Amino acid sequence: MRTIVAFEHLTLDGYASSEQGTGFEWTHRAYSAELAEYTNHIQADFDTAVYGRETYLGMYEYWGSQPTADSSPHERAHAEWVNALDKIVCSTTLTSADWNNTRLVSGNLTEEFTRLKGEAGDTIAIYASPKLVHSFLDLGLIDEFRIVVHPVVVGSGTPLFPDKTALELDLIESKSFDSGAVYLRYRNA
């Protein structure tokens, strides 16, 4: 059976996005070459990416036009990987998803993702999309969390875990980086 993972970058105070700018500028300071390389390990078993509408639009806008002549070797490799990846957008407002290998899901998440978990394949990963993570948490669909905690406090934004979320988790992997970021991998207990 396939696993559904929430892959998130978080602030030290638990926010998956802030209220400033695009909401993710705080990731740049600690996103070192070391962390970028380790990200390949973190997502090595992912074969399907899941996005909420906002994350999908941002990812498609940037990665859908990559790589460019100015892309670094890491950006070039990641662009090839993400453009080839199967992608699912969960949205009730989008009417199409134009990025290659992308399909739109607007119906029953429990039915759709229970079916997907039963199919052959590797890990299904929700990227960012904290509001979608909230829906998946409510439905009991997330099996694992892969979280990079950044050494920054933003004070407000969208938390990864909404109020009154209670989970028991087992730590299965951790790693700290020279930039001050820390990777934590938890599975449901």
DSSP 67-117: --TT--HHHHHHHHHHHHSEEEEE-SS-S---STTEEEE-S-HHHHHHHHH
CA 21 to chain CA centroid, nearest Å: 19
Q: What are the φ and ψ backbone dihedral angles of 183, each rounded to 5 degrees? A: -100, 135
- Reported as a single tens digit per residue, the pLDDT across 52-75 is 999 999 899 888 888 888 888 878
d(CA 53, CA 92): 9
Longest dimension (CA), the chain: 47
Instruction: Give the side-chain half-sphere CA count within 13 A for 82.
Output: 24
175 Cβ neighbours under 8 A, 6+ residues apart: 38, 182, 183
> Rounded to an integer, what is the distance from CA 93 to the centroid of its chain?
20
How many CB atoms neighbour CB 134 within 10 A? 18
| Calpha distance 146→139 (Å, rounded) | 19
Distances (CA, A) of 29 to 39, 150, 178, 181: 16, 9, 12, 10
Average pLDDT of the residues in 162-170: 92
**Rounded mean pLDDT, 33-58:** 93
What's the chain's average pLDDT?
92
Rounded to the nearest 10 degrees, how much is the dihedral formed by the CA atoms of 24, 29, 33, 36? -20
> Domains of the chain by range and CATH?
4-188 (3.40.430.10)
Mean pLDDT score, 168-188: 97
Q: What is the pLDDT of residues 63-119, one digit of tens each?
A: 888 888 888 887 888 888 898 999 999 999 999 999 999 999 999 999 999 999 999
Taking alpha carbons only, the member of 130, 117, 115 closest to residue 8 is 130
